Amino acid sequence: MSAFAKQRLSRRIGEGVFLTFCWLATGVALLALTAIMWSLISQGVGGFLKPDGGGLDLAIFTKSTPAPGSEGGLLNAILGSLMMCALAMLGAVVVGVLAGTWLSEFARDSRYGKVVRFLNDVLLSAPSILVGLFVYEILVAPLKGFSGLAGSVALGLIAAPVITRTTEDVLRLQPTALREASVALGAPVWRTILAVIWKSAQGGMLTGALLAFARISGETAPLLFTALNNQFLSLDMTKPTANLPVVIFNYALSAYDDWRRLAWAGALLIAATVLTVTIVARLIAREPRRS
């Protein structure tokens, strides 16, 4: 065999091995992820059906977490999670949008702007359990009590950097001509930003907020020692508050079949919520802007 033919053969073999590997890798990845989705649905859907197998059972949404062996649902946990996420988002949107606006409109390439941007990116991917420790140190320990409010603060601190980042990114995409046109009409900078730039970027900003919500709705680690948990239905956020992730965590590790069933149902509920919110966020981001 000539040297040329040898080289050609080795190139073809290399190519074949490489392509096979890429196909296999995708196959393995999709298989693993399908397996996860399949277990989630097959195990989780049981929680929404009557135990004898017939018909929908809405106990999950109408009853609170049960004692072992008795009937129950996840009402208190769902409600607690919603309250905490809503409060967290409220704070995070205000801080995140304003901070993102400052980074995009005022700071640009100043040194302080670069520092804030860098640290925001670090905060964005810092382990969430450390945020939990932080909030424990500044709120739970001094006030001598776990509370839903502390949980909200922890979740808010996780959501705020996400919103800051997306806000800055979409605001930077707005054309300079838009700002100039507004200023040329005599609008002061604050009106330009509020009425023109934010207005034009609202789709992207909404997407960022939805993604932040998707992120915090499944966070477990920061709630373990801030919101803790609560066996009963309660709207008092100054006390330990029930929430889906921690209930799932506790129930999944319990020895009772009923509790594990509820844990799977809760996991399905959270995953479905996160997926829906993410898909909606992507649809909004993709929607063509009206002219």
Partner 1 sequence: MTSATPAPLAADAPRSARGTGLDRAFEAICFGAATFLLVALGGLIVSLAVGGWPAFAHFGLGFLTSAEWDPVQEIYGAAGAVAGTLITASLALLFALPLALGVAIFLVELCPAPLRRPIGTAVELLAGIPSIVYGMWGLFVFAPWFAKHIQVPLMMSAKPGTIWEAITTGVPNGSGILSASLILAIMILPFMAATLRELFLTIPPQVRESAYGLGSTTFEVIRKVSLPYVRTGAIGAVMLGLGRALGETMAVTFIIGNAHGFPNSLFASGSTIASTIANEFAEATGVLHTSSLIALGLVLFIITFTVLALARVLIGRQANL
Residue written as token pair 């980074």? 103
Distance CA 31, CA 50 (A): 30
Is 285 an interacting residue with respect to partner 1 (CB under 8 A)? no
Q: Which residues ranging from 141 to 160 are in contact with partner 1 (CB under 8 A)?
A: 157, 160
Is 48 an interacting residue with respect to partner 1 (CB under 8 A)? no
Is 29 an interacting residue with respect to partner 1 (CB under 8 A)? yes
Q: 167 to each of 77, 89, 163, 196, 212, how far by Cα in Å? A: 31, 14, 6, 14, 11
Pair of tokens at residue 239 = 């006390």
Distance CA 87, CA 84 (A): 5
Q: Which residues ranging from 240 to 259 are in contact with partner 1 (CB under 8 A)?
A: 245, 248-249, 252-253
* Cβ atoms of 72 and 78 closer than 8 Å: no
Q: Which residues ranging from 156 to 195 are in contact with partner 1 (CB under 8 A)?
A: 157, 160-161, 164, 169, 186-191, 193
Distance of closest approach, residue 7 Cβ to partner 1, in angstroms: 12
Distance of closest approach, residue 260 Cβ to partner 1, in angstroms: 8
Among 6, 7, 9, 25, binds partner 1 (CB under 8 A): 25
Q: Which residues ranging from 82 to 121 are in contact with partner 1 (CB under 8 A)?
A: 94-99, 101-103, 105-107, 113, 115-116, 118-121
For partner 1, which is the closer residue by CB, 46 or 169? Answer: 169
- Does residue 240 sit in helix, strand or coil? coil
Residue type, 25: A
